[in-house]
Structure 1
Amino acid sequence: MAVKYRVIIAGCGGMSNAWIDYALNRSDVEMVALVDIKLEFAKVMADKKGLSCRLFDNIEEAIKETGANLVFDVTVPASHYNIATASMELGCDVFGEKPLAETMEQCNGIVALSDLTGRSHAVMQNRRFDPRIRSLQELIRSGTIGRPGYMGAEFFLGPHFGGFRDMMDSPLLLDMAIHTFDAARMIIGADPVSVYCQEFNPPGSWYKGNASAICIFEMSDGSIFCYQGSWCAEGVPTSWEASWRISGEKGTAIWDGIGAPYAEVISEGDQTGKFTREHTRVEGGVIDLQRTFHQGCLDELFLSLEENRPAETDCRDNRFSMAMVLGALESTKTGRKINIEKFIKTPNSQFQHSSSFSN
């Protein structure tokens, strides 16, 4: 297959390994440059992967000198907006690590520039490409439990990372919750309308900032999504994918984040007069994905370019997941419920909000 994509990797830290390995296995991709503000990091990565491509410490220079048409943005979140806008302005499509950007204003700016330039920008949300999550989504989409009214996700783990996360103001919401929030939108097929959030740091926490949070989201389908999470919960951990309960008109769907999802629905037949109805278990279907997680998401990103359509994790869609994170942070800061539509449209300076995402 002829080379179609001239790819630059921006950001040569540990996260870039998976992206580079994927690109090297595509016959339609040529790696034309590695970019890092610390040029020695790019050199180390080039040596590690046996690459002979050019090395730069500036994305604009790299694009202009190599004729690249696609940028993999694996930089720290604080750089995402600048990398994305510079790349699209110079004619490149962009695949970026999460988060889309640090503020709602920047997220909207990326979307606006994608519209203006016609360039694609999509985000790595690898957990969407988990067959078990797809199976849970299908249980809901197929109407197995009827119209959903409540969705809950519990996320309780006690990872001792050390390093920057221990010093973040909001380590759970800023660094991890985006995965669960994005999955919730995908599973139920709805977007956030409002959020009320309370962050706290419970006894025994080894984090400087708030490592626990409870969020209540109103969703566009009329349902309520409740997120309960902690990154300093010792004992009886949930899965990294969270533990889910979705209740609807006809029954409830369950996924523990480990095995396969299932539902219990009202059994057929006359149950008149019964105090509690009988229920029938429905197993979630087996979803066959050729490749999963990072590779599955990257496959979708390239397929979207081939088919000239927005990717599933296109920036226009992903900003609603980001609005859940940033709206929750605004709510915990102000102590009030946040209207997501207004929050998305209002410049962040009016909310007096600033975030500090880190990788």
Structure 2
Amino acid sequence: MRVGLVGCGTVAGYGHLPAIKSIDEIELVALSDINEARLKEYGERFGAKRLFTDYKEMLDSVQLDLVTVSTSLNAHYDIVMESAKRGINVFCEKPLAETVEKGWQMVNAMKNTGKIFAVNFENRAKPYIRRIKDILSSGRLGRPMMMRFIYNWAGGRWAGADRYERLMREGMGPIVDCGVHYFDLVRWFSEDEFDTITADGIFVEGYENPDHVVALCRLRSGTLVVIDESWVYTHKSKDRTYILRIDIECERGIISYQMGPAPREVEFKYYGPDETIIEKAEEEEKPFVTMYRSILKSIEEGRLVDGLASGEDGVKATEYAIMALEDVLKRRGI
């Protein structure tokens, strides 16, 4: 599989490109970025010989099986639409688009090509997250009555102040940039849609978007959902830490998943009618290799496999996350 990547930023450097290079069946053919110095650096680092500051030139001059879009959010739409014009499979970073309208345009354009259009909701590839999905799909705990998702940390400021400010402003802050993962997991776990979304938040560092948001939601089936996203958790502390926790209360039992505070350390708990399971293990925080193996398989089979999120999944999760953000801003008169 011949891959061209657009956007040589932080996520490409720690996630996409190392994963692509680690799989023998995938060839990194070309890179594109508007920053020439960074483009050259990544080209040398990851062994890409064809380098382009204009991604359209890359699409026109290199034969590609897949375009990976790992740019800032505001560039996703144009790159996906241009890839669709050329009939190339696309793997796009989340959130999918700046607006729901643009997201559906992207979905429809890719649908008309008959090519694969996947969104990088990598949590779906984590072994214990897949295990939760399997348990819920089996029905042995009955219907989920309550779902709680908490991800509180200091945000992406570790990668530089400029990038963090861009995520808070253009990326719409934690409830959209990160929260979109959990709006997606709710849909995937429940096979249901959101009915109501209310939210409130706090503004700590002076951005126009809130630094910490709590969304209280109902699904159409009546399931209650809480999504709690923060980028100011221990942000000024001597030692930073984080909380990543999922709790699902069902009719006949509960499932609990927690990562951290030690990196990669996971605790999984299952309290069912017939057994109790408590396990501790290590798990990848960002399973990019698993994602790319699934993309490869999807292109070979001509359909999304292994629970990969579709463009439609990407639009719907983005829509719900934006609804939560808009509710906060409305409450605050912004």
1:91 matched to 2:72? The reply is no
Range 221-230 or range 159-168, more displaced: 159-168
User: TM-score, normalised to structure 1's length?
Assistant: 0.77
Cα deviation for residue 239 of structure 1 reads: 5.0
1:221 matched to 2:221? The reply is yes
Query: How do residues 21-170 of structure 1 correspond to structure 2 at under 5 angstroms?
Result: 21-51=18-48, 53-159=49-155, 161=157, 163-164=161-162, 165-166=164-165, 168-169=168-169, 170=172
SS in 2 for 1:254: strand
SS in 1 for 2:151: strand
Which amino acid is the alignment partner of residue 34 of structure 1? L
Alignment correspondent of 1:314: 310
Q: 1:296 aligns with which of 290, 302, 324?
A: 290
Cα deviation for residue 199 of structure 1 reads: 2.3
Cα deviation for residue 157 of structure 1 reads: 2.6
Distance across 2 between alignment mates of 1:196 and 1:27: 46
Range 140-149 or range 110-119, more displaced: 140-149
Alpha-carbon contact 1:244-1:257 (below 8 Å) kept: no
Instruction: Write out per-residue CA displacement over residues 191-213 of structure 1, whole angstroms, 9 at most, x where no aligned residue.
Output: 32331111222xxx346341111
Cα deviation for residue 180 of structure 1 reads: 2.4
In structure 1, the gaps of 5 or more residues are 267-279, 337-352, 354-359
Which amino acid is the alignment partner of residue 233 of structure 2? A
Query: How do residues 168-183 of structure 1 correspond to structure 2 at under 5 angstroms?
Result: 168-169=168-169, 170-183=172-185
Cα deviation for residue 315 of structure 1 reads: 0.6
Distance across 2 between alignment mates of 1:253 and 1:45: 41
Distance across 1 between alignment mates of 2:258 and 2:126: 14
Alpha-carbon contact 1:104-1:322 (below 8 Å) kept: yes
Instruction: Write out per-residue CA displacement over residues 104-157 of structure 1, whole angstroms, 9 at most, x where no aligned residue.
Output: 111101111012222221111122111122222233223342211111122333
Alignment correspondent of 2:271: 264
SS in 2 for 1:227: strand
Q: How many corresponding residue pairs?
A: 315
Distance across 1 between alignment mates of 2:12 and 2:156: 23
Range 154-163 or range 63-72, more displaced: 154-163
Instruction: Write out per-residue CA displacement over residues 274-316 of structure 1, whole angstroms, 9 at most, x where no aligned residue.
Output: xxxxxx65227999x9997111111111111111113521112
Alignment correspondent of 2:263: none
Alpha-carbon contact 1:136-1:284 (below 8 Å) kept: no
Which amino acid is the alignment partner of residue 33 of structure 1? A
1:305 matched to 2:307? The reply is no
Distance across 1 between alignment mates of 2:287 and 2:165: 26
SS in 2 for 1:221: coil
Instruction: Write out per-residue CA displacement over residues 62-119 of structure 1, whole angstroms, 9 at most, x where no aligned residue.
Output: 1211222321111111111111110111121111121211111111011110122222
In structure 2, the gaps of 5 or more residues are 261-265
Tell me the C-alpha RMSD between the 2 structures: 3.1
**Structure 1 pair 173/78, CA: closer, same or farther in 2 (3 Å)?**
same
Distance across 2 between alignment mates of 1:119 and 1:55: 25
Distance across 1 between alignment mates of 2:142 and 2:40: 55
Alignment correspondent of 1:346: none
**Structure 1 pair 98/294, CA: closer, same or farther in 2 (3 Å)?**
same
Alignment correspondent of 2:201: 199
Query: How do residues 225-264 of structure 1 correspond to structure 2 at under 5 angstroms?
Result: 225-234=225-234, 239=242, 242-258=244-260, 259-264=266-271
SS in 1 for 2:199: strand
Alignment correspondent of 1:184: 186
SS in 2 for 1:262: strand
Alignment correspondent of 1:343: none
Instruction: Write out per-residue CA displacement over residues 163-185 of structure 1, whole angstroms, 9 at most, x where no aligned residue.
Output: 14357255221322122222232
Alpha-carbon contact 1:38-1:57 (below 8 Å) kept: yes
Larger Rg: 1
Which amino acid is the alignment partner of residue 253 of structure 2? G
Alpha-carbon contact 2:245-2:258 (below 8 Å) kept: yes
The alignment-based identity, stated in percent, is 23
User: TM-score, normalised to structure 2's length?
Assistant: 0.83
Range 321-330 or range 252-261, more displaced: 252-261
Alpha-carbon contact 1:134-1:187 (below 8 Å) kept: no
Cα deviation for residue 324 of structure 1 reads: 1.7
**Structure 1 pair 44/157, CA: closer, same or farther in 2 (3 Å)?**
closer
Cα deviation for residue 238 of structure 1 reads: 7.7
SS in 2 for 1:95: strand
